[in-house]
Amino acid sequence: MAKLYFYYASMNAGKSTNLLQANFNYGERGMATMLWTAALDDRSAGKPIASRIGLEADAHRFTGETDLWAEVSRRHAATPLACVFVDEAQFLSPAQAWQCARLADEANIPVLCYGLRTDFRGELFPGSAVLLGIADALVEIKAVCHCGRKATMNLRIDAEGEPVAAGAQTEIGGNESYVPLCRRHFSQALGFFG
């Protein structure tokens, strides 16, 4: 029986790198896969899924209206899929997260989702919240805070490097916009600990 996996972490933990390595392993064995990423993440000048260490791959892009169940089922009928990979899974709608579960349960295709658990305020993304609740396997990928502790939070910073505590939940960016921190340093930066 196929499973739904949610690999989650803070920024700069290597989520896309892990996804691309796993996808490579399937391809090396001649197995077909299907890759997805959020259409709103347009940072990559080349292929849609790109890691900080230079790995990249083509992928389908999902929006809030994409029916993952229908799209993947159509592809699976033409070419049996060994696995589906979803990068930036925090941007899945709750319905799309359930479609990923349906792909595992009814189409018997393993679905590996990779994404952030929380936003820059420490709040769950809607897609991540559903995946945390329904995934068969939860796997935390470790990142490191500047203090050496495990980074679990994503501090948004402005152009001067100052912490940002308010704004839209989604603002696409990398190292220029976010810093992975442990909970202690995240809380201190935002003044939660007085």
Identify which of 3, 165, 170 has the alpha carbon closest to the alpha carbon of residue 93: 170
Q: Which amino acid is at 81?
A: L
Taking only the tens place, the pLDDT of each residue in 143-174 is 999 999 999 998 888 888 787 776 666 666 55
What are 67-124's pLDDT values in tens digits?
999 999 999 999 999 999 999 999 999 999 999 999 999 999 999 999 999 988 889 9
DSSP for residue 4: E
Cross-strand bridge partners of residue 56? 50
Based on its alpha-carbon atoms, the radius of gyration of the chain, rounded to whole angstroms, reads: 17
The string of DSSP codes covering 20-31 is HHHHHHHHHTT-
Domains of the chain: 4-141 (3.40.50.300)
| 162 in active site | no
Question: Which residue in the list 88, 140, 162, 176 is annotated as catalytic?
Answer: 88
Question: Residue 36 forms beta bridges with which residues?
Answer: 60, 86
Candidates 131, 56, 121; CA nearest to 98 is 131
Q: Which residues are CB-neighbours of 97 under 8 A, at least 6 positions away?
A: 89, 113, 127, 130, 131, 134
Global pTM?
Answer: 0.89
What backbone torsions phi and psi does residue 18 show, to the nearest 5 degrees?
-60, -45
The terminus-to-terminus CA distance of the chain in angstroms comes to: 49
